[in-house]
Chain A
């Protein structure tokens, strides 16, 4: 079997498996071989679960033989290493959890494994999902398969890179301020951040609980739709999940966008937008118009304020969520004569600089005397951001613009400049603040690097934004952007 098959849609692979033309064991083995060949140069995986993967593949082939397979059965996938997996190390990209093995199964991991999908491994990420380049991993940076001197984006950079390079058919990432959509954009794949509460967070190690959401990354919209159908839905273990029924997302991909009103916010096209990105996105919008959609100029005046208040809300919640890593029950423990010194030393050694920076910001914003001025104010702004979108969605069906203001930047380029790193999420984090859904779909290349078109929808508007993204993807003619891999041992 050739590795070429690994860039085909897994929906096709499923058909081939159903007709017994290929087996899950074949596909899994090929995927593992590709990981072995390419990943030393990419660094997408923190852990490859080879043995378990092969055992699952055997089980998947049995499921096909016994006619109890679904679209995900036997399909190799990867999980961002912040999603708990029973018995499989889950580090969150942090030294503090280097040896932490969950004793319970996270909700989405459970749903995917029960559907018969084959876990290839756990992917690299910015430590505790804090970052936009995967350079803040506590272990090593991940490189962009399109250009290994460049970042894959982040924080779900390992997941996006693995899917882009054909080292997994799909992956799950998490998106707190853009951490699925931005790396998807930079790696030339499709990434969806569902509506807050659409997918259970039970087992997702929390960064900012009111913003975090798990979502799929794949090489095409129908694949993303198929994965979302499996992971979405109410979970009694997560009180913030929505009770709304889960539609058949794939069935909604009609290719039809005639008469649809697409809002184009002027704030998403600032002067500082990279010209190549602006060109590719404009072309994408023009294609949608030619398919019969109406482009409507709109304004989202709270866009700038959203960025500032995001960097109050997210660190505040993070400060609290990360307090449990104290060396007492699990994870890293530094020895000390008393428990307070043990806490301090463990956290000093276990956390990286970016995590410490955010804990400090959060502790400051929530402290006596500053709480009203920072945290309360940020929540007020957050309500205004929500109102911004609500007003916009009175006028239009979806909102479209660039996912990221730039294509993939160079490794190290922004590492010492947190503010420029934070700006990478300027167009994505408002959706998290508002709890709405958004998808990034490739819309061409600029300077040989992928550009993503972001489509935002109202709460529970996944069907609509996937339909628009799918219609665009079909018309654009490049169902899949394949990186020109110029590295790796020969196949």
Chain B
């Protein structure tokens, strides 16, 4: 919340329209490959998605199925009959002059999404979930010295889900949390890649400032494709509207764009947004019938959603809300957690969580790869934890072993055997090493004795270094203490 608006008694009223490309093999109404990323322009096209005269759409069942999953996961009511409508507006990247969308009878209505955060859950109402087709993409360029507009229809007809929230959000931060929560659900359901840089998830936000019972004029900001853009655009827009109102001005109801470079919203007054889409039922497609039994079947087979998973981690696995949050951010991480835990003796959840949140995330981050592309498996991680638990390796060794597992995919015990990493737990062997280290580090020993044993750390470090990390740290500490005890030194 920005200071200006609140101080003046204005309350931001925010709603989001999120567009998510579905992860289907083919496009919404034709057989073209929907995965066009990186493809040559206009190479994933056919008469249908080019809107050639006489071509007709055929509904993609997988897209329908995925939409029903989302509608169900968002607690929507799924009417028995719904249908497609035509949204008519001329634009060069809309090859038919209309977009096949859903208007009067969407697949999902009246749902909600609960967003958890530090202050407790927020419930965001969902007005509707509907299915439509994406548009092509216009690019402006220069060809033979002349400015030209080029259109790529690879994206034309890719299945697009639209999720419209109630205007029940009151801060840019809450809007961001909702958008992130929605993204998480979509990724969990496996219907969207969540890859926002690829533009597969975009939001149009609308915001107005109300004062008391007086609603303000609604401004729509289109095409925000990052969490940061949503937050910053809303912050900017709330300040702008508040300043306007403070100065006695009026907010115009309009559509604005977000200028990423300038970090400001800009008015988009253009002819094409006449805002009368002349919707009417798509005559080329039959009405959709979804039986209550089918909805029930989908509900039953939905994967566990992040919110439920987090609650389970906190309640029965004993993780902190923060740990639960981090691990459920990525469904793959959460699956790794669940599966590793199932291979462990009871009570191991903290250790599993620590390894995932610590070493694993660090290595993934360094290598810049997703978990799926790494070599870490539930069996592998479980094997490592077993060696650590039974004292075969030290914590320091385990980190080395884990890094090897990450690189090579080899099992932990194999790495330990091959590299001779098993820990030295033999007291006599270790005592000899400790004595040698103490003899070689007179200054440290003097310091230790003078400070009454408070500086054992550096000495332990020297011993660990001398053993190549193979020493049992607890045993080393014990040996140092007994060798440098007043009784021992007095002799």
Chain A residues packing against B (C-beta within 8 Å): 83-84, 90, 92, 97, 100, 102-104, 106, 201-206, 208-210, 236-240, 316-317, 319-320, 322-324, 326, 328-330, 339-340, 343, 363, 366-368, 371, 375
Contacts and interface: CB of A to CB of B under 8 A. Distances in A.
A330 B47 CA distance: 12
Interface string B51-72: 1111111110000000000000
A87 B342 CA distance: 63
B19 interface: no
Interface residues of B, number: 32
Contacts of A92: 53
A102 B54 contact: yes
Contact of B286 (A239, A339, A343): A239
Interface of B: 46-47, 50-59, 86, 88, 90, 92, 95-98, 149, 151, 271-272, 276, 278-280, 283-286
Given A104-B47, A320-B98, A210 B58 contact: no
A102 B46 CA distance: 12
Contact of A343 (B54, B90, B280): B90
Contacts of A208: 283
Contacts of B98: 320, 323
A205 B90 contact: no
Among B55, B56, B88, B272, the one with the most A-chain Cβ atoms within 10 Å of its Cβ is B56
Interface of B is mostly: loop
Interface of A is mostly: loop
7 contacts: A102-B52, A317-B283, A319-B88, A323-B90, A328-B151, A329-B52, A330-B52
A73 B239 CA distance: 76
A462 B47 CA distance: 31
Given A97-B53, A102-B53, A367-B276, 8 more contacts: A201-B56, A202-B55, A239-B57, A239-B59, A319-B88, A323-B98, A324-B95, A328-B92
B150 to A, nearest CB: 11
A208 B86 CA distance: 13
A317 B97 CA distance: 12
Contacts of B286: 239-240
Nearest to B58: A239
A173 to B, nearest CB: 15
A60 B6 CA distance: 83
A313 to B, nearest CB: 9
A117 B47 CA distance: 25
A326 B97 contact: yes
Contacts of B95: 324, 328-329
Contacts, number: 100
A206 B276 contact: no
B52 A323 contact: no
A282 to B, nearest CB: 38
A339 B55 CA distance: 24
Nearest first, the 10 A-B pairs at minimum CB distance are: A323-B97, A210-B283, A366-B278, A209-B283, A205-B53, A203-B54, A84-B54, A205-B54, A324-B97, A104-B47
A418 B447 CA distance: 109
A106 to B, nearest CB: 6
A145 to B, nearest CB: 29
Given A320-B98, A323-B97, A324-B97, A237 B53 contact: no
Contacts of A339: 92, 149
Contacts of A371: 278, 280
A90 B283 contact: no
A372 B96 CA distance: 25
B52 A103 contact: yes
Contacts of B151: 328
Among B54, B97, B285, B286, the one with the most A-chain Cβ atoms within 10 Å of its Cβ is B54
A371 B276 CA distance: 11
B41 to A, nearest CB: 14
A204 B54 contact: yes
Contact of A206 (B50, B54, B58, B285): B54
B86 to A, nearest CB: 5
B281 to A, nearest CB: 8
Nearest to A208: B283
A155 to B, nearest CB: 16
Given A84-B53, A320-B88, A323-B88, A240 B284 contact: yes
B50 A329 contact: yes
B278 A367 contact: yes
A320 B58 contact: no
Nearest to B86: A320
Contacts of B86: 320
Contacts of B149: 339
A104 B53 contact: no
A106 B56 contact: no
A237 B54 contact: no
A490 B272 CA distance: 58
A7 B44 CA distance: 48
A100 B53 contact: yes
A201 to B, nearest CB: 6
Given A323-B97, A323-B98, A343-B90, A366 B280 contact: yes
Contacts of A326: 90, 92, 97
A201 B279 CA distance: 23
Contacts of B271: 340
Given A92-B53, A102-B53, A210-B283, A368 B276 contact: yes
B58 A316 contact: no
Contacts of A320: 86, 88, 97-98, 278, 280
A237 B276 contact: no
Nearest to B48: A237
A150 B384 CA distance: 93
Contacts of A209: 283-284
B53 A103 contact: no
Contact of A366 (B56, B88, B90): B88
Given A92-B53, A103-B47, A324-B53, A237 B280 contact: no
A168 to B, nearest CB: 21
Among B51, B58, B284, the one with the most A-chain Cβ atoms within 10 Å of its Cβ is B284
A178 B136 CA distance: 37
Contacts of B283: 208-210, 240, 317
A236 B58 contact: yes
B295 to A, nearest CB: 22
Contacts of B284: 206, 209, 238-240
A324 B96 contact: yes
A316 B85 CA distance: 13
Contacts of A202: 54-56
Contacts of B280: 316-317, 320, 366, 371, 375
Contacts of A106: 54
B357 to A, nearest CB: 50
Nearest to B275: A368
Contact of A237 (B56, B96, B97): B56
Among A102, A320, A326, the one with the most B-chain Cβ atoms within 10 Å of its Cβ is A320
Contacts of A328: 92, 95, 151
A237 B58 contact: yes
A84 B55 CA distance: 9
